[in-house]
A and B are shown apart, each in its own frame.
Chain A
Amino acid sequence: KQEVTQIPAALSVPEGENLVLNCSFTDSAIYNLQWFRQDPGKGLTSLLLIQSSQREQTSGRLNASLDKSSGRSTLYIAASQPGDSATYLCAGLDNYGQNFVFGPGTRLSVLP
């Protein structure tokens, strides 16, 4: 059974710092991967989707990469802002299934 871990579980940084969130899968056969943010008590907002033929995606201050050989993904956030404070979740679709398996999330606090 595919399992996903996210490190760190929580992170607190001062405004302006660059930071990296990590996501790893027990089965490295990942078809594609999606990063989400979730504000407290709300639904998930899609940030980036890395398709099967891709290795990374960028949107504004966000960059996500996927190393299929190791089953690891990183989300890089540049010049963090207090508005970035949220929980960030990764979800991967394996080559054998048709649904995403989610990690538990990293809770990010960006202090002004």
Chain B
Amino acid sequence: EAEVAQSPRYKITEKSQAVAFWCDPISGHATLYWYRQILGQGPELLVQFQDESVVDDSQLPKDRFSAERLKGVDSTLKIQPAELGDSAMYLCASSLLLAGYEQYFGPGTRLTVT
């Protein structure tokens, strides 16, 4: 069964350092999402891609976060510099198309900033 892949699964970094997460969506899925989930809360959307284009990044803290999906397949989310408040689970999801198609999630990357 096709799955969304993410790496690394866990990342510990010191504040002010740079960190990057990688996501490979299910093959053929045009839409890719990055979410941040703080413990005890639901995921919050950071950025949404349709193929290689950004559809929504209104909740992405652009002073320190960046995301790209250069060839419309896999994607990288970067934080520079990391802050203590960035400690969270970062989840990637994909769906066949936009507007309400079923979303499939990867296992997530647990980030701890010390």
Residue tally, chain A, CB below 8 Å to B: 24
Distance, CA A52 to CA B40, complexed state (A): 29
B98 within 8 A of A: yes
**Contact pick for A46, options B43, B104, B108, CB 8 Å:** B104
B6 CB, min distance to chain A CBs, angstroms: 8
**Contact pick for B45, options A43, A99, A105, CB 8 Å:** A99
21 A-B contacts, Cβ less than 8 Å apart?
A31-B99, A34-B102, A36-B105, A41-B89, A43-B107, A44-B91, A44-B105, A46-B103, A46-B104, A49-B102, A52-B100, A91-B103, A93-B100, A98-B48, A99-B33, A99-B48, A99-B56, A100-B45, A100-B103, A104-B42, A105-B41
Contacts of B106 in A (CB 8 A): 43
Contacts of B56 in A (CB 8 A): 98-99
Inter-chain contact A89/B42, CB cutoff 8 Å: yes
**Contact pick for B42, options A4, A32, A51, CB 8 Å:** A4
The residue in chain B whose Cβ has the minimal distance to the Cβ of A93 is B100
A63 CB, min distance to chain B CBs, angstroms: 17
Contacts of B100 in A (CB 8 A): 31-32, 51-52, 93
Contact bitstring A7-47, B, C-beta under 8 A = 1, else 0: 00000000000000000000000011010100001111110
Contacts of B108 in A (CB 8 A): 42-43
Inter-chain contact B98/A98, CB cutoff 8 Å: yes
Residue tally, chain B, CB below 8 Å to A: 26
Inter-chain contact B105/A105, CB cutoff 8 Å: no
Chain B CB within 10 Å — which of A4, A31, A36 has the most? A36
Chain B CB within 10 Å — which of A43, A45, A98, A105 has the most? A43
User: Given A44-B91, A98-B48, are A104 and B41 also a contact pair (CB < 8 Å)?
Assistant: yes
Contact bitstring B11-31, A, C-beta under 8 A = 1, else 0: 000000000000000000000
Given A42-B107, A43-B105, A99-B48; 19 other pairs, CB 8 A cutoff: A34-B103, A36-B105, A43-B4, A43-B6, A43-B106, A44-B43, A44-B91, A45-B105, A46-B102, A52-B100, A93-B99, A93-B100, A98-B99, A99-B56, A100-B45, A102-B42, A102-B44, A104-B40, A105-B42
